[in-house]
Structure 1
């Protein structure tokens, strides 16, 4: 009897689980089991541990899908035994021992570099941390071009920030070394340089495809995203 994997959708920085709102109905319509956890966005190691804990509580195989920073998270969490494949959406495919900052630093900055806003947040028993946001005025053009303008404005003021410390944490493992992986490049991305995506995917030996989209590809091009996930589901159904 075939065992179809549960699809776990992992959002990235400056977005939340609702960023998959246009993709989830497509997958549910296929009869797939879907889980869309809220990522804390506090640290790469901590966020990966949280997603790994979600994966361990799912009976049967899991296909992990990570957008943006979520790609770095699934790179680490994907070593869980029941993970059968990884899908990267405009995401970071880190090498073992590599940080987000190191991978990005190989390539010219995107427009995001001049659109970031930094705000302190309290850390119990320690100095304040730093949250990173996208400037709300720049958000629609830099992060969500091609998304309905009214929705983009809502997303701009409801961002889930990423703790600045996460940019410097090194991935302790790289799950793509042992799991089949797919990578989707957003060729019109102004948040992550598309060459960062291409480099990481190619280095990992992934099945790579490209779509003319902004960074928030799940809302700008949901059918392309759903189709790629379907391809990965078919390939990883035992």
Structure 2
């Protein structure tokens, strides 16, 4: 990527061999470091969630989330706490320090682990592992495409957000209908939506770097980017698990 027209990235000195460094070198290095930080946070968050989920199931704590008639009070708290963390980050990020944003992200990943521990009750461990690695492969390919494509995905993003809202409404309705056919359709649509969002969010995060590079907000932007990709990955995994997971 050549940025010689941008005065911020004009070469400052010659190398010892007498050649002038390419103007885009520092720029690309900064972008790579930024994206690597995003992926590191995202992957670490997924790992933390997985470890907490497995420990919660192995310890038997997961069974305290249920009563004979449905989720217990603790179960409802565990189910809805992740949403509180996301809202806190989304609406309070400008008032929070970078350290507070990072701590909130790790807290969110931990609570998500408690919430997702229930999948070990409903699905076999082997199918969970298979779907997880399939999701990881799909996520890597989609994110790479979103990072490298020259196509503007902003229009697709608007369509996907509208689809996501419809998906949430349909999921809420199906809580009361308990329709297997509707759940099947929701899962298929969910996979497609979050596959598209993975590419869209990756491009958005990449473009965000150009706005926040060198500012105090850069550290917060890394965490928020990681959160977006984390949610894309987890949701795609959960919908694929509904479609292809082997039930206990």
TM > 0.5: no
Question: TM-score of the superposition, structure 1-length normalised?
Answer: 0.23
Structure index of larger Rg: 2
Structure with greater strand percent? 1
Question: TM-score of the superposition, structure 2-length normalised?
Answer: 0.23
